[in-house]
Structure formats: C-alpha cells, structure tokens
Amino acid sequence: MSTTITVEHLARIEGHAGITVELEGKAVRSVRFEVFEGARLLEGLLRGRSYQDVSQIISRICAICSAAHSLTSLKATEDAFGVEASPQTHLLRDLLYRGESIESHALHLFCLAVPDYLNYPSVVALAADHPDAAKLGLRLKKLGNTIQEVVGGRAVHPVNCIVGGFGALPAEDQLIALRRDLQQGMADCQTAIEILATLPPADFCHTPTVFAALQPPADYGYYHGNRIEMLPEGKANGGVTFAAADYRSLTNEKAVPHSHAKHSLFQGRPFMVGSLARVTANREKLSDRAKKAIEKLALTLPSDNPMDNNKAQAVELVFDVEYALATVERLLNEGLKPERPAPVRPRAGTGTGVTEAPRGLLVHSYTYDDAGRIVSADVITPTAMNAASIEHHFRCAAEQAAADSHQALKKKLEMIARAYDPCVSCSVHLLRVKS
C-alpha cells in the first residue's frame, strides 16, 4: 500500500516550500523538497547594469542573508576589477558579517527551531511560558541587527557597503553603545547555551555526511578566504580543497521539475553546508569559550545527525559575539581612519566571490564588460547546495522512523528541514545551466 505524506507549506522558514514523501509500505519510494517560490530571475535582470548597482539589487535575493549577498557580491566585483579594499574596510565587513550571523542564528534558534523541541507552534507561544528565554533570544537577535545597522546602515539590505569600501564609517558613539550591547550579549550567550543544553535530544536521523566549507585564512569566520574544502563522508579532516574561481567543480547542478531550486551534487553525492560544516572543518580555529559550548551542548564532531546544525549555530553565536566585541574594542582603541572607498577602475573580466552565509557557502560570479556592466551573473546559494542533502536526510529519517505515525514522521521531517535553516528565496537563484 502506498501513502503520501505531505507538508504543504512549511512554516517557520524563510520562503515558500513543502515536503512530499511517498511510502510504499515501510519502504520510502520518493522524497521531495519542493520549492514553489516564484522565480524572480534577478541574475538575468542584472545584465547590462552598472557594477555600482549590482550589490544593492542582488541583496534582494534574500533578506536574512542580505549582508552576505551584498558582501559576496562586492568580493566578486572587486575580484573582477582588481580593487584592493583597505584593511579597515575588510575588518568592518567582517564585523557586519558577524552581525548578520548573530541575527540569523538567534532568529533561527529561538524563533524558528527551539519551539519545535518544546512543542510550541511559535516563539510567541513559547514566550507565554518561557518569557525569559524568548526575550533573551530577541535581545541577541537585536544585537545582530544593531551591528548591521551601525556598520551596514540598515539591518536588512545594508545600504552602506559599496565597491571599494563604505559610504560612511560608524561614529564613535555608535561603537561605544555597541560595545555595551555586546558585553550584555556575552552574558546572554552563556545563558543561551545553558538553555539550549537542556533541550530534549533530536535523535532520529543518522547518516555519515559530506560537508563543505570555506577555509578561513586566519580567524574563524565567514567573510575572508577564497578556498573551499570538501570533507569526505564522516570525516572531520583530510578533505580536498579548491579555489573559489573553480566553484563549478563544487556542483554539477541539475534542475528538477518539482522544485524551483536546483540541486547540487559533489561527485554525484549530496553535501551539507552551513554551521555544522563550518564547525566541523574549522573547529580548531574556535575560541575556548566556543569550544566549551561544544562540550556543553554535547556536540560530537564529525556529526552524523543533521539536527546538530542547530547546536553548531549556537556555538557560532557564542564565538561571533565574542569576536565582534574584540573587533569593536579594537576599533575603539585604534580609532577609525577617515578614508574614502578604494578607487575603482572597471575592466572586462570575470570575478568570483565566495563567503560563508549564515546557512553556508555562497558564491557570486560576474562577468563584466569594459564599461563595468554585467555581461552575465551566477549566484549559487547555500540552500540550493543543501537541497539534495535535505532530501537525502528526509529519506534517512523516513527510513529510520518507519514505525512512526505519519503525524510523528511529519514533524520529524519538518524539524530536519528547519534545522537546515533553509532560505528558500535564496534557493531559487542559481547559476545558469552550462550548455
């Protein structure tokens, strides 16, 4: 007897997506992660636009990762034109990136994921019983937004970041206020870890996983670096690395009819990107506080449980707040140099930028003409890369939970989808198919 389990419209994720699993008795016949977010074709619409407009337009791919899109876009454009942004610019961009990560992780953990563990439909319902936890989550989320406002000029779709630098630098009093908020954030993170450590385990999907993450040249982070590392199944080291410009070898994407998101495979296998991949690949770069959080959350690496992505996000939250505080203190001690954006001389060519968005690897690659207008643009988003992996994990969970009621299975599937923190608006923006 065959049955179909569907989650028509997945709640508490960004964008419009659903899940369909077909069971034949206890065997799983098919799993589908369906994206029905309309195709906005932004890459196509970019064609002919001046390099100055690109990051503003492309950030509209997704609000939650808008800073990631902006900065990845700037990296790609600066790569194409050989623009050298100043060290201060890079420092501030790194800080902005942390802000987004803090905001995104706090939002995901407290507003989207945690309610599942405790059987609440939403953070609002959660807030009724656990007001302190909800407020703590909101405070951390706000902290991330404040960083983005101070550096990027706006919490969603930053306006201040341009090719070569910034429109304006943060004012000293803004940084001083931010430092105060970050100090509070340090304490909040500690409490957050304690709360998260008490959550019931989510133990229903185990399978060795391939991870992919950016290799940070120095500190653990998201913005710097241009080499990507693929970890073999079930391993925390010994992977292959390649340059961002060769990003196409990362993926041999195929468009599938049930979804507006294309699926990425590496050497024919699905792979996972995001916090869990990063923490696995770059664990030794984390601070002591973050490492303690790993212990506290009983996160074993490499992990074979996609639900651990939630724990990995919590670890990053701890690290990012600490790192952002150190950055702000440094900026305050050294003082901000009043500098104008680096000069830009457009030239024909292709540039690629890769970063770690909160949800994982993000690649932008543009080809410009000599007037600095877009000839073609490719964007590969983390959720697109994760799509095949999400389905893979759906299948595992369905197989491992064959004895469950449909209702219980449905919830598990939703939790897996949510653990990936999928960003559906992002996923429908993919590179063009190679002809």
Partner 1 sequence: MTGCAGDQLVMLNCEDQLLDVVAALDIRDFLMASSGNDEECPLDVALVEGAVLTRRDEEKLNRVRERAKLLVAVGTCAVWGGVAAMDGGRDGDRARLLAETYGPTGAAYDSTPARALHEVVKVDFNISGCPIEKEQFISALSHLLNGNAPLFPQYPVCTECKMRENNCLLIEKGEVCCGPLTVAGCNARCPALNIACVGCRGPADDANTTSALAMFGEKGIPRDDIVRKLRTFAPMEGPGV
Task: Return residues touching partner 1 (CB under 8 A).
Answer: 9, 11-16, 36-45, 48-50, 53, 56-57, 60-64, 66, 107, 111, 115, 121-125, 127, 134-135, 138-139, 141-142, 145, 153-157, 159-160, 162, 166-168, 255-257, 260, 262, 414, 425, 430, 432-433
Nearer residue to partner 1 within complex by CB, 168 or 403: 168
C-beta of 103 vs 229, nearer to partner 1: 103
Cβ neighbours of residue 239 closer than 8 Å, sequence gap 6 or more: 229, 230, 231, 232, 281
- What is the per-residue DSSP string for 248-277? GGG---B--TT-SS-B--BTTB--B-SHHH
Radius of gyration of the chain, Cα coordinates, nearest whole angstrom: 21
Region at 153 (left for phi over 0; alpha for psi -120 to 50; beta for the rest)? left
What does each C-alpha distance from 347 to 46, 51, 164, 276, 369 come to in angstroms?
17, 11, 15, 38, 6
In the complex, the smallest distance separating the C-beta of residue 424 from partner 1, rounded to whole angstroms, is 8
* Encoded tokens for 138: 């909101």
Cα–Cα distance measured from residue 227 to residue 236, given in angstroms and rounded to the nearest whole number: 17
Pairing mode of beta strands 27-35, 17-24: antiparallel
- CA 104-179-357 angle, to 5 degrees, is 25
**Least Å distance between CB 333 and partner 1?**
24
CB of 222: closest distance to partner 1 in angstroms?
19
| Residue whose CB is less far from partner 1, 80 or 163 | 163
Query: Is residue 74 within 8 Å of residue 163, measured between CB atoms?
Result: yes
The SS3 assignment for 110 reads helix
* Smallest separation (angstroms) from partner 1 to the CB of 262: 7
Q: How far is the CB of 410 from partner 1 (least distance, A)?
A: 11
Helix (H, G, I), strand (E, B) or coil at 70: helix
Query: Residue 135 or 330: which CB sits closer to partner 1?
Result: 135
Contact assessment for residue 83 and residue 75, using Cβ atoms and an 8 Å cutoff: no
Nearer to partner 1, 65 or 213 (CB): 65
CB of 285 to partner 1, least distance (A): 29
CB of residue 59 vs partner 1: minimum separation in angstroms?
8
The residue among 25 and 167 lying less far from partner 1, judged by its C-beta, is 167
- Alpha-carbon gap, residue 276 to 308, rounded angstroms: 7
Query: Looking at beta carbons only, is 91 or 197 nearer to partner 1?
Result: 91
Q: How far is the CB of 127 from partner 1 (least distance, A)?
A: 6
**Nearer CB in complex with partner 1: 98/283:** 98
**Nearest by Cα to 383 from 431, 426, 429, 433:** 426
Nearest residue (CB) to partner 1, 29 versus 139: 139
Nearest CB to partner 1, comparing residues 20 and 56: 56
| Shortest separation between residue 267's beta carbon and partner 1, angstroms | 21
Looking from the CA of 55 toward its CB, the CA atoms found within 13 Å total: 27
Q: What is the 3-state secondary structure (H, E, C) of 14-52?
A: ECCEEEEEEEECCEEEEEEEEECCCCCCHHHHHCCCEHH
Smallest distance from the beta carbon of 122 to partner 1, in angstroms?
Answer: 3
CB-CB contact of 144 with 101 (8 Å): yes
Nearer to partner 1, 32 or 60 (CB): 60
Question: CB of residue 49 vs partner 1: minimum separation in angstroms?
Answer: 7
Pick the closer one to partner 1 by CB: 187 or 255: 255
- Output the smallest distance, CB 106 to partner 1, in A: 10
The verdict on whether omega for the bond into residue 346 sits within 30 degrees of 0, i.e. cis, is no
Largest CA distance in the chain: 71
DSSP string, 392-435: HHHHHHHHHTTTS-HHHHHHHHHHHHHHT--BHHHHT--PPPP-
